[in-house]
Amino acid sequence: MSQLEIITREAAPGPVLELLGDLDYDTAGRLRALLATLALRQGSRLVLDLGGVTFCDSSGITALIVARNHALAAQAEVALADVPDHIMRVLRIVGLDQIFPIEPGSAAAM
């Protein structure tokens, strides 16, 4: 079974979710469940730090879209941070690099 650790931190602009491990069929539900409990304020910013993601399949892509939709429904912003090259390739293939703001550094550094 794949492993995914999600570390949640609060930053001044809003929550930061640091993902570590595989974001796939076995683990994406954990991210979706966490997002459902995450209260976002209008104007806040949700950051998904992907620096520790080792693998992402279509279920992981769907979970990222769920995160975006959750933020937009709350009139909040969403961004991806520290996206590894192998995950960036997947985002480019499916066009998500066009809809997500992508920060070059880790969310911890922001």
Domain borders along the chain are 4-109
- How far is Cα 78 from Cα 27, in angstroms, rounded to an integer? 21
Where the chain has pLDDT below 50, the residues are: 109
Give the contacts of 43 (CB within 8 A, at least 6 positions apart): 75, 76, 77
Q: What CATH number matches the domain at 4-109, 3.30.750.24, 2.30.110.10, 1.10.10.10, 1.10.150.300?
A: 3.30.750.24
Q: Is the pTM above the cut of 0.75?
A: yes
Residue 1's pLDDT is 55
Residue 109's pLDDT is 47
Q: What is the pLDDT of residues 69-97, one digit of tens each?
A: 999 999 999 999 999 999 999 999 999 99
SS3 state at 4: strand
